[in-house]
Structure 1
């Protein structure tokens, strides 16, 4: 039944609704249940699709949602608990995870060193455990001590060659490691450890280029990740370089009007604004805005994001009348889509306040 829903020619929303219906038909056979919704980008878009608090059908269960935008996480209350993992797991949890995948007689100090080398991040530790266990299952003697030696000497390529030799399905798993590195980079980015973020993003990018080729959408995603870090650190010309490469890949593979193209255009618009190239910034933000309107509809929150971006550029150029128009339209969309008390609504109100201050109003 799940396979049938996956193959249906309908929207993702309808697929989720169908899957929820399928699960609901089985609830009477279960004493309890757990639903995991992984890696949500916009919590507001999926919350209505999930079982609702107070619905008598959905009792004796829990929902775990993982999300990167902590601003979207609900406040703790009787029904919600927000747990941040940006600081990694605690030492006991790291030790238990590593011990589970350890074949050799590794002492506690060595396993503790591994966990701290990987900043106690769950995805990085899981990737390391998977790597070491698969090499050992292929009858290749590889210890945590050797892993650390390779890790510190940056000889991952030698480790990869050993893995490929004994594991015919390694290329797919290799890409999984790149995905874990990208997720780890997100953690470093959010905690403002930008040097570390650049380091792991670049490793992920090299893995993806080798495994998928230089023109894959995952390569473009890693390029955009790097661009965001360069933008944050003020390395704007480097940011433009990698964002332009990402844009080229997206346009080539997905066409000129894909939503990923809009994301790359938006990134470039932000960088051009910082460099004072306002004409370029407006050009790219307008292109992104048109794509979003076509792909998502005129009242989508991502459309509001582009409207706000344009408003900010017009503030920089002193065109306050146009800036007010864009910010007011963004505010209207956000109020309709997110409600009057959402943090994005507050951001748009702040933008408008800034313009009115500039005009003396």
Structure 2
């Protein structure tokens, strides 16, 4: 059996060679980008662990190591998250002015590079809300920023997501301090429904929420319910 070999012209050969080179370069370029951000991901993971354990200064050191890598890779979601994480570290360390600056930077990056509604913008609003809650003691304004965060979260997460529950808690806390007790209860109850489903009734976060609800009922002079929820918190 004879195999017919179709001759390839010099022009076709050059075109095929060019195509192969382009495919190779695009593939290796993608791989290089992936490899280049691996150290940043490792720094971020380490920093997140330190933040969780409230080793705030050490967490900031590792977050800062990740920033130039993500910036060079134009990984804008991660860059925005960097500023949000730094902001959280700072308000937890009572460095409120610096925290506010970094939260605003996270939102600016989100507005410039990310889709209109994104988790980092919501995170930024949460951090600004925390600034007004903790530093300014402006619970009305804190509630407004927490509401902005919630609005975005309801667009990008399922309605029963833990991040959504976190917003309900934040808003409830601001309303409690603002003495809007009935409204605070509404948000606390929404948070409990999600947390009990996702975490179980005995989770520590739910215990803290029950204690907050006891404060609401105490301030409403409903002492029986205040005692009930206070007992649930232990």
TM-score (normalised: structure 2):
0.72
The question of 1:272 aligning with 2:163 is answered no
- 1:333–1:171 CA distance, 2 compared to 1 (3 A): closer
Tell me the CA shift for residue 337 of structure 1: 4.1
Tell me the CA shift for residue 286 of structure 1: 0.8
Counterpart of 1:233 (choices 87, 93, 99) is 93
Q: How does 1:96-135 map to 2 (within 5 A)?
A: none
Q: Distance in 1 between matches of 2:48 and 2:84?
A: 12
The question of 1:198 aligning with 2:72 is answered no
Count residues with an aligned counterpart: 192
The question of 1:335 aligning with 2:199 is answered no
Tell me the CA shift for residue 249 of structure 1: 1.6
Q: Distance in 2 between matches of 1:296 and 1:190?
A: 22
The question of 1:181 aligning with 2:76 is answered no
Secondary structure class of the residue paired with 1:257: coil
Tell me the CA shift for residue 241 of structure 1: 0.9
- 1:287–1:356 CA distance, 2 compared to 1 (3 A): same
Q: Let me know the Cα RMSD of the aligned residues.
A: 2.4
- 1:299–1:216 CA distance, 2 compared to 1 (3 A): closer
Tell me the CA shift for residue 208 of structure 1: 2.3
Q: Which residue of 2 aligns with 1:222?
A: 82
Secondary structure class of the residue paired with 1:340: coil
Which one has more relative contact order, counting CA pairs under 8 Å at least 6 apart? Answer: 2
Q: How does 1:1-361 map to 2 (within 5 A)?
A: 172-209=34-71, 211-213=72-74, 216-275=76-135, 276-361=137-222
Higher alpha-carbon Rg? 2
* Structure 2 unaligned regions, length at least 5: 1-28, 223-234
Q: Which has the higher strand share?
A: 1
Q: Distance in 2 between matches of 1:201 and 1:297?
A: 28
- 1:187–1:259 CA distance, 2 compared to 1 (3 A): closer
Tell me the CA shift for residue 230 of structure 1: 0.6
Tell me the CA shift for residue 243 of structure 1: 1.2
Tell me the CA shift for residue 244 of structure 1: 1.2
TM-score (normalised: structure 1):
0.48
1:89-108 CA distance string (max 9 Å, x none): xxxxxxxxxxxxxxxxxxxx
Secondary structure class of the residue paired with 1:264: helix
Q: Which residue of 1 aligns with 2:25?
A: none
